[in-house]
Amino acid sequence: MVFDKKKHQAIIDQVEDYIAEHKDTVKQHHWREHYHYQAPVGWINDPHGLIQYQGKYHLFYQHHPFSGKWGTMHWGHAVSEDLIHWETLPEALAPSEEYDGWDGGGIFTGSAVNNDGVMTLFYTGCAQARQVQCMATSTDGINFEKYDGNPILSDPPEGINLHDFRDPKVWKHEGSWYMVTGVTDGVSDLINASNYETNGFGKVCLHKSDNLTDWEFVGYCVESMGELGTMLECPNIFKLGDKHVLMYSPMGMQQRQVVYLVGDLDYRTGKFHWSTMGSLDWGFDYYAPQVFDDENGRTLIQAWIGSWPFMPWCDGTYDTSELGWYGSITLAREVSLCHDGKLKFTPVQEVEKLRHSPKRHTELELNDGEKFAFEAGDNVHCEIIADIDLAASDCDSVVFEIRSKGEQKTLIELDLKKGELAFDRTQSGSRSALRRTCPLECASKDRANIRIFMDSISVEVFTDGGRTVMTNNIFSDEDSAGLYVYAKNGNVRIETLKTFGMKSVAE
């Protein structure tokens, strides 16, 4: 089937006209982010195709431009020179084929490579009867043409559900190209995303190619019996030091949105032999991260700040959907491997460009329940860094109370007695009013550090030296802006509390 360039461009033009008509209204709302990337209009989810090409960082993302709800997916596109200031470009890919063709049912998550100067995109095309893997290319990083020979990979291994064969991540190793995809051997239905179910066991497939168009199945990297998830979405394999990391977003694992496995990949058999398992982020609203390497030698990762309607804490409705948009993208994080095989995540240094109005408090001695009020820019778009002397403290918990006014507040709690980090949005104003906890390593140590990035709705929390991270959305009133820190059941000594306002980079 030959790619119809004019038809594809006509759909993109329709999207751009819709965005131009609605973006000024959308950007006025106080829940629009100031320094986290959002599409100007519409629903977004998975970031993908992350690559540094011709000196610029490229961010593609799942985009339904015509409403704030999940729908027929397009590929949105933005570029940046510093990972902070993003310029939205026209849609890169749109579903231009018939519903029973390559991608008429939507264009799902994929990846990008630089193939001898040609930016080459890989994506999942949704046809009526199946999901297939497709390819598109560009020599300028802006205008893309779908490959006339699509799909490049139409058949999953025998026994795999044809509706669950997606999210190709492609990379080069020793002269050959490799692709991982997420699959399941169960029965599922993605026609209605608000009622998605899968009843099988998730797997990660590995395929190999010498030319990017002809692919052979190598083997399954991992095969879940339920313990690794029922569907392993958005798999990535990448190398850190002398180890490989496999990460994916599992369905059927409740509080684990994104899992990483550290071990060794056998390229001959496709088997991934792992020894360490962890969570990239413990928050409600962190999904589908993708990894890429930049020209500075950093391994970087970005993810969707949002949540699916089939998650157990989501009732299928979203706080901003009726406003014509939903979803944002995390700050870029650098990934590194710790001595014990676990991963740690550090916000890229470029984010410090946004700081203003610095404030610093030292040697704070807070008694049981005594709230210390502090300022951080406008108290909504800010960064908070605290170093806590646990050896000189005897409290059960240290609590940061943010976006506080009257009955409305959000709590970030270092529970030293239970050894947990807790994020409590039961009183934040969000529809999903829940509390989540995860293990806190520093609870048994002499010192603790916490770094919090707050934007209009997103909150990214880093502790345990970046080994423990939580990302969540909160939808608080515009004037809920109080900031406090206090101890529970004892006293706390905070050696330093540093705060910064954060400049807006919104287009």
Summarize the confidence of residues 466-477 as an average pLDDT.
Answer: 97
Q: Assign 198 a pLDDT band (cuts: 50, 70, 90).
A: low
Above 80 in pLDDT, residue 439? yes
Summarize the confidence of residues 451-465 as an average pLDDT.
Answer: 98
Out of 4, 46, 285, 464, which one is annotated catalytic?
46
Q: What is the pLDDT of residues 218-231, one digit of tens each?
A: 999 999 887 888 88
Share of the chain above pLDDT 70, in %: 94
Summarize the confidence of residues 224-247 as an average pLDDT.
Answer: 92
Q: With CA atoms as reference, report the closest residue to 429 among 402, 468, 467, 396.
A: 402
User: Does 301 or 318 have the greater pLDDT score?
Assistant: 301
Residue 296: CB partners within 8 Å, gap ≥ 6? none
Dihedrals phi, psi of 279, to nearest 5 degrees: -105, 130
pLDDT at 310: 58
210, burial (CB in 10 Å: exposed 0-12, middle 13-18, buried 19+): exposed
Of 170-184, 313-327, 414-428, 455-469, the poorest mean pLDDT is in 313-327
Of 6-15, 153-162, 406-415, 468-477, the poorest mean pLDDT is in 153-162
pLDDT at 481: 98
* Cβ neighbours around 219 below 10 Å, total: 19
> Going from the N-terminus, what domains does the chain have, and what CATH number goes with each?
5-346 (2.115.10.20), 356-502 (2.60.120.560)
Q: With CA atoms as reference, report the closest residue to 307 among 45, 61, 69.
A: 45
Q: Report how far apart the first and last C-alpha atoms of the chain are (Å, whole number).
A: 38
pLDDT at 189: 47
Summarize the confidence of residues 281-306 as an average pLDDT.
Answer: 97
CB distance 435 to 464 below 8 Å: no
> Rounded distance, CA 480 to CA 478, Å?
6
Provide the 3-class DSSP secondary structure of residue 53: strand
> Rounded distance, CA 326 to CA 333, Å?
22
Active site residue 46: yes
pLDDT at 103: 78
Joined tokens for residue 503? 């400049």
> Rounded distance, CA 10 to CA 96, Å?
9
Strand order in the sheet with 118-126: 107-115, 118-126, 131-138, 145-146
Provide the 3-class DSSP secondary structure of residue 17: helix
Amino acid at 224: S
Residue in the block written with tokens 């990846």: 111
Q: With CA atoms as reference, report the closest residue to 356 among 385, 376, 386.
A: 376
Q: What is the pLDDT of residues 114-152, one digit of tens each?
A: 999 999 999 999 987 789 999 999 999 999 999 999 999
Q: Assign 308 a pLDDT band (cuts: 50, 70, 90).
A: confident
For the chain, the average pLDDT equals 93
Q: Assign 313 a pLDDT band (cuts: 50, 70, 90).
A: low
Above 80 in pLDDT, residue 99? no
Provide the 3-class DSSP secondary structure of residue 279: strand
CB distance 243 to 295 below 8 Å: no
Cα R_g (the chain), whole angstroms: 23
Beta strands 333-337 and 343-347, pairing class? antiparallel
> Rounded distance, CA 328 to CA 473, Å?
10
Above 60 in pLDDT, residue 2? yes
Summarize the confidence of residues 403-427 as an average pLDDT.
Answer: 97
pTM, to two decimals:
0.95
Above 70 in pLDDT, residue 44? yes
Above 50 in pLDDT, residue 195? no
Above 60 in pLDDT, residue 459? yes
> Rounded distance, CA 243 to CA 328, Å?
31
pLDDT at 229: 84
Cα 316 to the center of its chain, rounded Å: 19
Summarize the confidence of residues 476-497 as an average pLDDT.
Answer: 98
> Rounded distance, CA 507 to CA 495, Å?
38
393: which DSSP letter?
-
